[in-house]
Amino acid sequence: MRLPVILLPASLAALLLTFHGWAQQRHPITFADLMAFGRVSEPQISPDGKSVVFSINRVDLAKNAGDSDIWMVPITGGAARQLTQGDKRDNNPRWSPDAKRLAFISSRDGSPQIWILEVASGEARKLTSLSTGADGVIWSPDGKHLAFTSDVYPDCRDDACNAQRDKAAESSKIKAKVFERLLYRHWNAWKDGKRTHIFIVPADGGAPRDLTPGDYDAPPFSLGGPADYAFSPDGKEFCFARNTDKVEATSTNGDLWIVPVQGGEPRKITANPAYDGSPLYSPDGRYIAYRAQKRPGFESDRYEIMLFDRAAGTSKSITAGLDRSVDEMTWAPDSRSIYFTAEDESYSSIFRVGIGGEAPLRVIDRSYNSEVQVSPDGKTLVFTRQSISRPPEIYGAGVEGRDVKPLTMVNEAVLGRIEFGAVESVIYKGAEGANIQAWIVKPPSFSPSEKYPAIFLIHGGPQGAWADNFSYRWNLQMFASRGYVVFAVNPRGSTGFGQRFTDEISGDWGGRVYQDLMNGADYLEKLPYVTAGRVAAAGASYGGYMVDWIAGHTNRFRCLVSHDGVYNLASMFGATEELWFPMWEFKGTPWDNPGLYAKWSPSSYVKNFKTPTLVVHGELDYRVPVTQGFEFFAALQLMNVPSKFLYFPDEGHWVLKPQNSQLWYQTVLDWIDRWTEGN
């Protein structure tokens, strides 16, 4: 049993840390350090404005698993108090409107279910017992109901039917799958005929009721971000996103629907053929704010904030003039403005926009902030903040962005024993003279008079970015810890630098973006502290694609690492699941536009392969199927290129299990060490 833990106030913790640091030698970050960090997330301000609850996930490397617990800290800062304990998942905390209870998701009894915690007494009771589990819980503003999601068989009318169907599938010796349409699997899981539905359950207990029946996902699949459903302020109406297009695999559509909480037929309120989602009712009930994209089929189109006037039945954009894509958002309590986050040139800034047409204003920038909340009195912002050298913590600030201070210091003890490399942002000229931003992370104990080997990192997406945030999968400081200068580039296609810059990679995967990268490699090798010719290149997903492309177009790197890389564009199209993605990027299907697929496919340039390459892939990766890695490795072997394959039978597009992650870092860094040794 773990004893209750009290986190010290920030000032006292820092003071004790200072004394401790004098007696302790700092060292470059290790994998054990990386796993020792508490992963802080999900801040939620109490309705009385006094407290913030949040979750901390901790990893047990020996158990090869993690668990999360819920904590609470005063909104003014101070000692944090642990509210739940155990070796299972407790997360997704949400305050009741009276600030006396917390709903949360817990797997302490097996499957994830909704539990209710009495904050004063610490007593918790189980609210749901669905065989299909529960997730994404929220309260109705009147405190009478909770809404949540569960994956169910759409033709089942009750939980007994779902339980029987799952039990039969699990016990059957036949594991064959039969499907008649796209999508039949997604990212790392088979759909198996199930749909995500939104349920509502009385807060005092009772049978959950399906609010979104039918053979559709509600909400549509998401990799994270704002919830795609919300209650109206009076608790009588419910708004949610749903995609009813016939072929989901080719559609990025999502529309908003409303339904009475007491039941009834849902009514669609948006008709945009691209994505509409993330609804939020204004506190006064007049508007529904939501995020929308304009171009169907393009998942990386800019998100704008739209306002749906409930009385007039019309929508308008209030961020049309901002060349940034909106992430999370929250209403100010007076219903006159909205705070939101957006990627902003390798950072994530907090903005405020009024509903009357005022231009959005950066409130907090030049830092990476997310999960922003506004206190009930409208005076305080609460959010998470992180950087390349610091994992997330909870911060508070005035609504004008002043007086930023940490509310938690969960990771100070671990940080106190680590010596990180210095981080620098640089700009250089890419193709056609474009400004290209890159991060340089120097090795710990860096000396400008010495020469170092380097690692050139290429991000995934391709519409993604190396931002000033902390990653557990591709941690820049972990690469630098082995004595490398790390160079992480944001070329064409990167997000946060304006929509045109993001758009310029589509249909041009190995064109200007490749020149952006090679100009970056030139810049890197001209740095006075880098040994030219001792540079490795590595990347995942699109970054893996670009590594495969590099293998056929240049021999300038000592070695390559391709993780989940796209190798053969034509065969990738036939095996991936989100078909809208290649159809947008390559202007149609391989049979409609074979020339573009062949032009930008690394498989077309096999005869040029010479650079030693490590290939990494997971069997459960349905986004970039594992056959892409197998095909690439076969070509390397047949071309007599020194190569190795790191295969994970139990991982998808990301390596998530702690011991697998440890093997990943060890294998990748050992490969780079092997080939970059010597002058």
Would you please indicate which residues are annotated as catalytic (active-site) residues? 541, 621, 653
Distance CA 518, CA 524 (A): 10
Residue 536 parent element (H or E): strand 530-540
Sign of CA dihedral 603, 650, 86, 137: positive
Coil, strand or helix at 127: coil
In order, the DSSP letters of 59-95 are EETTTTEEEEEEEEEETT---EEE---SSSBEEEEEE
Distance CA 487, CA 532 (A): 13
Tokens (6 digits) for 7: 């986190």
Distance CA 244, CA 218 (A): 10
The candidate with the shortest Cα–Cα distance to 647, out of 655, 635, 639, is: 655
Distance CA 616, CA 633 (A): 10
Q: Which residues pair with 199 in a beta bridge?
A: 148, 210
Distance CA 674, CA 628 (A): 25
Burial class of residue 442 (count of CB atoms within 10 Å of its CB; 0-12, 13-18, 19+): buried
Query: Residues 6 or more apart from 463 whose CB is under 8 A from it?
Result: 299, 300, 493, 494, 495, 502, 505
Q: Which residues pair with 200 in a beta bridge?
A: 147, 209
- Whole-angstrom CA distances from 336 to 229, 323, 332, 436, 655 are 21, 22, 7, 37, 43
Distance CA 507, CA 584 (A): 8
Query: Residues 6 or more apart from 225 whose CB is under 8 A from it?
Result: 278, 327, 328
Coil, strand or helix at 522: helix
Phi/psi for 105 (5° steps) reads -100, 130
Q: Give the residue ranges of DSSP H helices in 475-530.
A: 476-480, 499-503, 512-526
> Ramachandran region of residue 16, left (φ > 0), alpha (ψ -120 to 50) or beta?
alpha
- From first CA to last CA, the distance across the chain in angstroms is 53
Coil, strand or helix at 351: strand
The answer to whether 47 touches 143, Cβ cutoff 8 Å, is: no
What is the chain's percent helix, strand, coil content, to nearest 5?
A: 20, 35, 45
For residue 607, the Cα-to-chain-centroid distance in whole angstroms is 37
Query: Residues 6 or more apart from 462 whose CB is under 8 A from it?
Result: 493, 505, 509, 513, 542, 545, 585
Fill in the DSSP letter of residue 248: G
Widest Cα–Cα separation across the chain:
73
